[in-house]
Amino acid sequence: MEFAIPISRFDPSNITWGNPRNVPFKRTIPFGYTDTNIHLNNVILVLQPLQIVELDWTRNNVVLEETKKVTYLSKLEQFQTSVASTLLKNYRIWLDNSVTTPPPLQPWLKGRRLLTLYLSTHPETLPFFTEDGPAVFSKETVKPGDSIRAVVKLQGLSLQMSEDDTWTGRSRIQHHIVQLYKVSSINSCSQEQ
């Protein structure tokens, strides 16, 4: 069984780093989480409800925005800053001293309010739930303005490699959407007002 951490309880300073894993076209440095006597080998976060700003079905991503005054995304900003800092300190070790320029981290969170989550290559297969139960994540069930709650697994820092195992110059926080919950739709929000 894997445990999820509510974003309200998440402390970016509790992230731990594993040993690099080499797979075709990328090198991943996995994340763990340690808090007092608890050590988790996986970092799974339950985010607060966020509003959909944009759905890009061609690139399979969703841009979410925090609309409440309580700003839990600031924790993800601290996490992103910590990952970028750790990358600058360790890139030569992780990339076998083959890189002389520090690799930039592709931003996951922009402007403290916008979070980009990458959907799977088949978004319709994502575990997705509405008030009525399980549903298919599609253009018919979600639209910009809707609020969703995401459960996201932070897999690690991904260093993108080429066929000959040289670094491409790209790195990002690799994540996987575990589940999505539609909290409200734009239509129901406008009816309530």
3-state SS string over 75-99?
HHHHHHHHHHHHHHHHHHHHCCCCC
Residue 70's pLDDT band, with cuts at 50, 70 and 90, is: low
Task: Provide mean pLDDT across the span 24-29.
Answer: 86
Task: Using pLDDT thresholds of 50, 70 and 90, give the confidence band for residue 111.
Answer: confident
For residue 189, the SS3 value is: helix
Of all helices (H) and strands (E), which one includes residue 74? Answer: helix 73-94
Percent of the chain with pLDDT over 90: 61
Residue with the larger pLDDT of the pair 177 and 91: 177
pLDDT of residue 29: 94
What digits encode the pLDDT tens for the residues 35-67? 988 899 999 999 999 999 999 999 999 999 988
Question: Per residue in 127-186, pLDDT tens?
Answer: 999 999 999 999 999 999 999 999 999 999 998 888 887 788 889 999 999 999 999 866
Q: Which residue has the higher pLDDT, 160 or 100?
A: 160
- The number of beta carbons lying within 10 Å of the beta carbon of residue 146 is 21
Place 187 in a pLDDT band, splitting at 50, 70 and 90.
low
Closest of 10, 51, 53 to residue 34, by C-alpha: 10
Q: Which domains does the chain have, with CATH numbers?
A: 5-192 (2.40.50)
- In 3D space, the residue among 104, 81, 109 whose CA is nearest the CA of residue 159 turns out to be 104
Give yes or no for a contact between 150 and 180, defined as CB atoms under 8 angstroms apart. yes
Query: Tokens 């297969």 belong to which residue?
Result: 125
Name the helix (H) or strand (E) containing 191: helix 186-192
Return mean pLDDT, the chain. Answer: 88
Mean predicted confidence (pLDDT) in 182-191: 62
Contact criterion met (CB below 8 Å) for 4 and 42:
no
Q: Which two tokens stand for residue 23?
A: 């797979």
Which residues, in sequence order, are bridge partners of residue 26?
23, 160
113 versus 170: the higher-pLDDT residue is 170
Residue closest to 119 by CA, chosen among 53, 56, 179, 61: 61
- Using 50, 70 and 90 to split pLDDT, how confident is the model at 112? low
Helices (H) and strands (E) in the chain, counts: 2, 14
